[in-house]
């Protein structure tokens, strides 16, 4: 029986350092769980001479990936270098060398996940990626194992800590978007180039992964309709609050029979909805199952140790499989062919804010247009506009198809009484 499992690590940045720290600090617990020692033996780094604040006794550092990938003594490779193409090449090489792989790379798994899982299966290897979605929240394992007997109908997630931090500050402090973004960058919550976060791309990669697992259907990044938060205004949040809503950037994956919708957009939730209470940089995923009903998974979505904890949890599963001789059986080929909903089949409620002439006949023109598409209004709020003779009108609709709602927006722009469509957001959790 194997007495020591040897690990090769690709990358020793924030997450990689956390992985080494947890493996060393929790060695007794790991040995109790898996029945043998687990040791990091070799690490790929850019600068072997750099001073580091983690224990690296007995660890060989190299600048050549082949030293790690082709080492016959290494059982498991952990990839935490990030990026897509290079990481893909390294993982394929590791799997073909019969090495099991753990990765935290959401970008990679969103683009090449199905291909890599097939390569892992062909080589009787494990490929686990729990840390790729929601950091330290064990949502992927929950879908694959804990909820495997249920039929998932919908998943909604706050999947990006940067945008949640920004929206929290804007809501609670009445600050403008640009002001809070600069603060988030100074605190390290947002990158110098925040595009992937604030435009919803990061969340889209994660919801594509969740959709693939939750619906057993190969969902690709290009299948996700994406809208970010860069156009959200302080006024939008103030009006939302008056109507009893809180805004979050949400990834949504929903299924009706075997047709799915996958999207990322700012959405409004009733103030009493659990997701409305998820603030700052925290993440949460709300899951609907036909049998279990509603469940929510909450916790830190990023950070050195939360993410590293998810990586090491995957490592433990791989080691257990090695000890049992059952590696290579974890990848499940999607059961269903991808079948996306059309705009006619996507239904939701909406928040709409317009600038309109403050005169008689305005509401009649508006309600006539909504009645034309058989859409009723749930809430209406009118406030004087800063410009004399105009008013800000805020409405929330009852459920309407996406196509009909888009037609309403197009025709609103042509109404003489409407000066401008200020904003429009989806409303969720209001059933």
Maximum C-alpha span of the chain: 85
Distance, CA of 201 to CA of 113 (rounded, Å): 17
Distance, CA of 369 to CA of 140 (rounded, Å): 44
C-alpha distances out from residue 280 to 133, 187, 252, Å: 17, 12, 20
Nearest to 251 by CA among 203, 302, 213: 203
Active site residue 206: yes
Task: Taking the CA atoms of 207, 209, 213 and 216 in sequence, report the sign of the dihedral they define.
Answer: positive
C-alpha distances out from residue 59 to 6, 71, 77, 248, 331, Å: 11, 14, 14, 43, 31
C-alpha distances out from residue 403 to 50, 149, 180, 206, Å: 56, 34, 34, 26
Q: How many CB atoms lie within 10 A of CB 406?
A: 13
Distance, CA of 281 to CA of 179 (rounded, Å): 17
Catalytic option among 42, 154, 169, 206? 206
What residues pair up with 37 in beta bridges, in sequence order? 4
Contact 396, 236 (CB under 8 A): no
Catalytic residue numbers, as ranges? 206
């Amino acid at each position: 029986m194997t007495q020591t499992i040897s690990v090769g690590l690709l990358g020793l940045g924030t997450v990689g350092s956390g992985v080494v720290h947890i493996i060393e600090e929790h060695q007794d617990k790991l040995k109790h769980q898996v029945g043998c020692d687990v040791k990091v033996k070799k690490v790929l780094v850019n600068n072997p001479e750099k001073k580091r604040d983690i224990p690296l006794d007995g660890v060989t550092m190299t600048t050549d990936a082949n030293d790690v990938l082709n080492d016959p003594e290494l059982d498991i490779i952990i990839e935490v270098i990030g990026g897509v193409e290079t990481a893909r090449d390294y993982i394929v090489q590791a799997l073909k060398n019969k090495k099991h792989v753990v990765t935290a790379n959401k970008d990679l798994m969103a683009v090449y996940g199905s291909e890599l899982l097939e390569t892992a299966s062909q080589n009787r290897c494990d490929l686990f990626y729990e840390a790729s979605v929601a950091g330290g929240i064990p949502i992927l394992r929950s879908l694959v194992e804990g909820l495997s007997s249920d039929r998932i109908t919908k998943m909604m997630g706050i999947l990006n800590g940067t945008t949640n931090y920004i929206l929290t500050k804007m809501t609670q402090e009445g600050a403008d978007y640009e002001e809070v973004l600069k603060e988030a960058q100074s605190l390290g919550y947002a990158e110098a180039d925040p595009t992937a976060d604030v435009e919803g791309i990061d969340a889209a990669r994660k919801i594509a992964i969740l959709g693939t697992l939750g619906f057993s259907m190969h969902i690709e990044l290009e299948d996700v309709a994406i809208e970010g938060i860069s156009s959200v205004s302080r006024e939008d949040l103030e009006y939302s609050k008056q109507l009893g809503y809180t805004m979050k950037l949400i990834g949504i994956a929903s299924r009706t029979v075997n047709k799915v919708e996958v999207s990322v957009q700012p959405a409004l939730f009733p103030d009493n909805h659990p997701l409305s209470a998820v603030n700052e940089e925290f993440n949460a995923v709300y899951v609907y199952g036909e049998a279990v009903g509603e469940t929510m998974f909450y916790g830190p979505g990023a950070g050195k140790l939360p993410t590293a904890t998810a990586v090491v949890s995957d490592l433990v599963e791989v080691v257990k499989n090695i000890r049992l001789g059952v590696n290579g059986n974890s990848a499940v080929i999607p059961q269903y062919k991808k079948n996306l909903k059309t705009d006619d089949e996507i239904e939701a409620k909406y928040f709409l804010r317009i600038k309109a002439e403050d005169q008689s006949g305005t509401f009649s023109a508006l309600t006539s247009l909504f009645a034309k598409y058989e859409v009723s209004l749930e809430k209406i709020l009118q406030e004087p506009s800063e410009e004399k003779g105009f008013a800000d009108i805020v409405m929330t609709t009852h459920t309407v198809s996406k196509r009909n709602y888009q037609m309403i927006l197009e025709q609103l722009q042509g109404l003489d009484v409407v000066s401008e469509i200020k904003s429009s957001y989806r409303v969720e959790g209001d059933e």
